[in-house]
Amino acid sequence: MGRKAMTNLKFNTPTKTPARSEKDPTGDAQPIRREQVLIPPVDIQETDEAVLLMADMPGVSRETLKVECAHEHLTIEGAISVDLPENMISVDADLRSSHYQRQFKLGHEIDSEKIKAELKNG
């Protein structure tokens, strides 16, 4: 059997990202802001010809989505962008992170030249 093509990567972007701020341990009730990378959940489906990877990355736009394949690793990442109306500023947010990233080791049967990406609902 020949090498499989990874024909599509679909990134679904639901409208809600559950995440909560932690309270300051001193009792000040001020949120602690920690930047951490979010790991997007994925579904992987395989056929005789292709592997389909679907990742949920809420808030990621086409402009901030990056899909890279190097050294037998596929990396998906994207920055979360929250658009506010022009006359509004954010005074508090429960999002701890503004960045998704996940990496997959590709087997030798995957033809990295045929990898494609597609963004849906975003």
CATH assignment of the domain containing 56: 2.60.40.790
Q: Is residue 57 part of a domain?
A: yes
Looking at beta carbons, which pairs linking 30-35 to residues 24 or more positions away fall under 8 Å?
Answer: 31/92, 33/96, 34/96, 35/96, 35/97, 35/98, 35/99
Which one has a higher pLDDT value, 122 or 51? 51
Is the model's pLDDT at 40 over the cut of 50?
yes
pLDDT of amino acid 3: 62
Region of 3 please: left (phi>0), alpha (psi -120 to 50) or beta: beta
Q: Is residue 18 part of a domain?
A: no
* Percent with pLDDT over 90 in the chain: 25
Print the domain residue range for 105: 4-13+33-82+93-120
pTM above 0.75, yes or no: no
- Using CA atoms, how far residue 104 sits from 5, 26, 29, in Å, is 15, 40, 39
pLDDT tens digits along 55-85: 999 888 889 999 999 888 999 999 987 777 8
